[in-house]
Amino acid sequence: MKKALLIIVIVLLAGVAVWQICQVRKRKAGIEQIARVGEDAGKPAAVVAEEEKKEGVTAASIVPADCSFFGTNLLLKDQFVKVRDSAAMKRLLSLPIVQVQLLQLRSLPQFQQAKELLETSPMARDSIEVAKDALSNEVFVCGDTSWVKFLASFVAWTNDVRIGNFKAGIREGIRGAQGPLGADDTGDVASGAIGKSEAFNTVETVRSLLKHREGLFTPGTLIGFKLSGSEEKLQPILERITARINESLALPATVNQVEINGNRYYTMAITRDAVPEGTFEKIRGRLEGAGCTPQEASEFIDWAKSIKVVVTAGYCKPYFIVSIGSDNAFLERLGKAEPLDGSPVFAPVNRFKGRRVASTGYASWQMAAAGRFDPGQFREMARVLIDALPEEKRPEGFSERLDEELEKFSREIEATMPVPSEIVSVSILNRGVESFTFSKSPQPGVDYTRPLTILEHAGGSPMLAVAGGSSGCAGEYESLRKWALASYGLVQTYLAPELGEEKREKYERLRSVAIPFLRAVDEATRQHLVPAVDAGQSLLVVDTGMRISKLWKDRVLESPLPFLMPAYAIELKDAAQFKEAVKAYAAASEELVNSADRLKQVAPGDEEAEFSVPAPEVKPLEEGKVFLYTPSKWLDAEIQPNLAVKDDLAVFSLSPGQTEAMCRKEEMPENEVVAMDLPSGCVFQFRLEPLIGCVREWVNYRFRERSPDEAAEGEGASAVTAILKQPVEELLNAIGTFKGITSRTYMDGDYVVTHSWAEFRDE
């Protein structure tokens, strides 16, 4: 039981570390219009100054500057109290259904036992007090440089496993096409060459792990909890836990007391000796049974035996520290090496000292590079496909030429990716959470130099608006076109001649249809579409203004309900060229469908009429035209897919009313915290209120509408509906305290800054 408890504790601590890493990558931020929280109003100036001074000191002042990542959450008690004392939470807790659940919880034997334990055990009370204190101030996690090697090896291992699974699928697909296994094929199942995918995947996973085993170890990680009042009670608790572990834990490992930098710690090393006798031999047997060679199984066992986990806990004023790693080297550097908050990379966070900082985060550029997407995966998967072909089916020189082309393609893909950079983030309590993220990795192809004026065409106040600016797409399209032509050339030169007569005939028929279509689309894109939209801005919006009365075919609603309406707008550099592109795409689509029909070889007299794209209904629009397309008969009449073209704008939507609203120019959207009208590469705005209103109407409709089964149940169903309606309504009200989030990404000197604000109002 206690062994299981120890394992659970270790897993939970590791989970906290991973969660904090995710927080570092997820937080967003920016550097303008920082608003002070109104809560400080009324406090004496000296008190405010002292609070600000204390809040400016975090674990970043003792964490080494060369760490791989760091994340800390602050003001935890303040945030908990705000949620607990909020009007929304009080309304939820006062619901009868919630009160009943709380009463049932208090009546459980476990609850009573815990209550009695707290009343009779000073040790339990002290432990609870320390835990509350530890989770009231600051919690941080950081990793040393070994995380870079570990992450790079882990990513490479998972990529190899993914490619191995892909290889298994290809081989089994080929084998399935060839027919059932013969008598001479059964040996291949055990070897992993073909057969059961589970055995094959096990072998590939083990081989890949052995390939990257040097980097797969326990990286150094520190987790800290800031104490402010329970420090004296921590030491006796640690001593008591140590004594109990050493006396009764059924593990060949003990907790020892050590001194590190003048502080007392308790440490335990978990090694191969902690594994029950006979376990490794069982693993060896399973690996060899799955198809691993005896040597591979032995190497895997040796690697597993070499893993060492050292768990250390103690007090380093003012933090309770838990260290996990292969040793205590990282812990020994805590507070001794150059601190993170004194390094240049952390300078953006230091601008916010004295504010109500709720969290900060950092990831080194080496860490970012280690977790970066590897475009070489495309090359490896293509090689798997080629290797799956029989030797006699591979034309001479094909594999070598393909490798060259794929290598060039990988380099070009990598050139479109931002360069690795350190990432620094900070969030502030400001009627919600205001966040800033800083990096030095501008996204290639994004224009950060001008305001996103296309937001003037958002059509009012949509639920969602996402705008972005491009610095040019012509080069990207030409690169894609080049590699598509190169791939086609390889197929035509090397593979097509190797096809049998029947397959060759089918291939030529397909080619006769596809190539003219692709050629027409390519020509329209290069000559018309790219010149029309290159280096322009685009906007995606989702609105809730449209109401529908028909769901599907004959499903008619009692009264119209709101419906989510997506729409897309794009800035035009040349409206005439854009119209020519649309015409060319429609003509190419007609020819594709008609060519495919002619290949069906229908009997005489069964020929169908030539397909043509139906002509849209054209309606005049101020400074342009709207092209309306007749909706399908089973859709609501309000849903009318349409395209509007003006001199400088094209709008696609499902509602003519929304299109007309977006074609009109309005003022740029405003936000109390995030500047929307300054030069930006991307702007994101989400408003929850329209969505809550939409959901509320649909929920009320569902409560009003009764299914046949509910109607048969009569009053019983009505009673259930009445019981559920109030909790659902209050839940929507509670969720509605989150008003939305606005985010803007822009350049500030060398930094790419993302400034966001998640707004909360407890009304």
Can you give 129-187 as a three-state secondary structure string?
A: HHHHHHCCCEEEEEECCHHHHHHHHHHHHHHHHHHHHHHHHHHHHHHHHHCCCCCCCHH
Cβ-contact 317, 325 below 8 angstroms: no
**Using an 8 Å Cβ cutoff, are 423 and 363 in contact?**
yes
Q: Is the peptide bond before 318 cis (omega within 30 degrees of 0)?
A: yes
CA distance 603 to 7: 72
Closest C-alpha among 150, 196, 428, 389 to residue 289 = 196
Residues 583-595 have pLDDT tens digits of: 888 888 888 887 7
Instruction: Give the residue-averaged pLDDT of 420-446.
Output: 92
Give the chain's mean pLDDT. 80
**Nearest to 728, CA basis, from 262, 98, 287, 119:** 98
281-285, 328-332, 680-684: least confident range: 281-285
Per-residue pLDDT, averaged over 414-425, amounts to: 86
What confidence score (pLDDT) does residue 609 get?
A: 54
Q: Where does the pLDDT of residue 703 fall: very low under 50, low under 70, confident under 90, or very high at 90 and above?
A: confident
Q: Is the pLDDT of residue 623 over 80?
A: no
Percent of the chain with pLDDT over 70: 78
Q: Which of 295-309, 709-723, 725-739 has the lowest mean pLDDT?
A: 709-723
* Predicted local distance difference test score (pLDDT) of residue 174: 57
The model's pLDDT over 293-321, given as tens digits with 9 standing for 90+, comes to 999 999 999 999 899 999 999 999 999 99
Position with higher pLDDT, 432 vs 184: 432
> Best-predicted range by mean pLDDT among 90-94, 319-323, 636-640?
319-323
Distance CA 29, CA 745 (A): 8
In this model, does residue 145 exceed pLDDT 60? yes
The model carries a pTM of: 0.81
Taking the C-alpha atoms of residue 370 and residue 148, their distance in angstroms, rounded to an integer, is: 6
Q: What is the pLDDT of residue 712?
A: 52
Q: Is the pLDDT of residue 759 over 90?
A: yes
- Give the mean model confidence (pLDDT) for residues 116-144: 90
User: How do residues 18-35 score in pLDDT, each as one tens digit?
Assistant: 334 344 334 333 333 333
pLDDT in the model for residue 47: 42
Residue with more model confidence, 201 or 17? 201
Is residue 675 very low, low, confident or very high in pLDDT (cuts 50, 70, 90)?
very high
Spatial CA neighbour of 558 closest among 701, 722, 706, 710 = 701
Residue in the block written with tokens 């601008």: 351
Between residues 176 and 302, the one the model is more confident about? 302
Mean pLDDT of 357-386: 82
Residue 150 main-chain phi, psi, to 5 deg = -65, -45
Q: What is the pLDDT of residue 99?
A: 86
* pLDDT value of residue 187: 40
Contact 380, 161 (CB under 8 A): no
pLDDT band at 599 (very low <50, low <70, confident <90, very high): low
Closest residue by Cα to residue 746 from 417, 540, 439: 439
Decide if pLDDT at 51 tops 60. no
* pLDDT, average across residues 113-134: 87
pLDDT average, residue stretch 256-280: 88
- Is the pLDDT score of 714 beyond 80? no
